[in-house]
Amino acid sequence: MQEIRKLPYYGRGGWRQSATDRWMEVVDPSTGACIAQAPAICAAELEDVIAQAAEAFGPWSRTPALKRTQVLYRFRTLILEHMDELARLLARENGKTLEEARGDLLKVKEPLELACGAPSLLMGESLMDASRGYDTVLYREPVGVFAGIAPFNFPAMIPMGWMVPLCIAAGNTIVVKASSTTPMTAMRLLELLEEAGLPQGVVSVITADRGTAQLLLTDSRIKGVCFVGTTGAGLKIYAAAAANGKRVQALCEAKNHALVMDDAVLERTAKGIINSAFGCAGERCMALPVVVAQEDIADRLVERLRVLAGRLKVGCAYDESAQMGPVVTKKHMESVLRWIECATIQTATLLHTTSRWLTVPYSPSIKIWRSLPSQTIFLTISLIKVRFSSIVSVWKLSLKLDNAVDSISTWISLSAMMFTSLCRRAFSSFMEASSLSSSVILAFTRSMNAAPKLPCDSVLIRLSISLLHFLILSSMTATGLFCVCPCKSRFSFSSSL
């Protein structure tokens, strides 16, 4: 029997074996086999990690920005050189297909490229004669040690793309708490980052239980916290870290809805829904679990979705031919099955399902069902609850446009999509978008009278005015800007007399 590897944590002097007696299993979702054990490190070990990050901050913050970005660019090159190895590792611990795993890794490369512009991004400002006889100068300075708490679903992009690059490019250091479910990708990426020339202690990767991880929220040496995960955990982390005077950014649960108008281009609409609903086995914040279709197109749409879903090959994550891999754990799969049971109990019509198990232990059975307008209880659950799953529910509604748009507006909406062929209708909806709780509305339109040189299909986007500020912060985070701003500003006043 093959010995299960006990994973290290990054402590003082580099990678170390934990003295803990608590280990958390890392399971290959494609086989159900335990492939490693991640340590729930002790409080004393985490304190030592934080101390090392604090000690590394001084020399690293004094390193010229140009030299810091040279390390990041070499890291970018190493990621590309090791792409196949990294993609296979990510697919093995997370369940993404190889293509999806490569996409996850490329989302590390992009923030790295942005961070390589730090010498320009970190430039200050100056103004002569801000007041009579006074000039002002603004400098951007590193803040200190940050903590990043990452989820399981994007084990490369979130910790090593969103959190690390701009944080360390700005001269800070960071302790990353990787998900204990999928820690190996972040650990391997840190090895490559060290190979690129990063000094010890600038970035640390650990795994810990919730009790020990509280130190990241209370230790005075931690100046800021970035969290991505569930709303329940995010609220607690935000409150605890803010109470201890830290900068906090908590990106929590959200979901997306689609409105299909009766003039939508059926094939394009169905393919878009399939890609969004079942990509990454639905385990992503931009998945599409709820579709509201007007009555005249609903039945044809559902039939087309059923056909396209039936063509998807669900299989082993690291099989190149697989189009959809397993969900991350058996517990998560059981949660998905409970949602399906909940829907069928409330008389939703199950239209398509794969075999529950297939050949993959944690196979995310593809489910499409049609829900009736009278099912108000499940409609509420379906619109409000966040399900990281390979489920899409289609609602047939006979409503006017305004009422249909309102039906997909909930407090937890991240985005809403409208599929229509009428640009005027789409534009009108965009102009009214500021009243919605959804952040973004996308209208996939087909221009019937477009000039020959123009593309037949176009995409129009309008940000909801009420959430524009939030989206700016989110987009900055998506490119790696850490905790809203990884620098502090210092004003210097000097007399020009």
Return the amino acid letter for 335: S
DSSP state letters, 381-420: HHHHS---SSEEEEEEE---HHHHHHHT--TTEEEEEEE-
Q: What's phi and psi for 37, nearest 5 deg?
A: -130, 130
Cβ partners under 8 Å of residue 264, min gap 6? 297, 301, 419, 420, 421, 444
Tell me how far CA of residue 246 lies from CA of 122, 216, 241, 469, in angstroms: 22, 10, 5, 21
Q: Cα(323)–Cα(315) distance, rounded to whole angstroms?
A: 8
* Contact assessment for residue 150 and residue 177, using Cβ atoms and an 8 Å cutoff: yes
Return the amino acid letter for 257: H
* Of the candidates 369, 368, 291, 356, the residue with the CA atom closest to the CA atom of residue 326: 356
Q: What's phi and psi for 221, nearest 5 deg?
A: -75, -20
* Contact assessment for residue 91 and residue 320, using Cβ atoms and an 8 Å cutoff: no
Tell me how far CA of residue 289 lies from CA of 99, 315, 389, 451, in angstroms: 22, 21, 8, 35
Known catalytic residue: 285? yes
Catalytic residue among 116, 280, 285, 483: 285
Q: What's phi and psi for 430, nearest 5 deg?
A: -60, -40
Alpha helix positions (H), 95-163: 98-115, 118-121, 157
Does residue 1 sit in helix, strand or coil?
coil
Q: At what angle do helices 65-81 and 184-195 cross, to 10 degrees?
A: 120
Q: Which are the catalytic amino acids?
A: 285
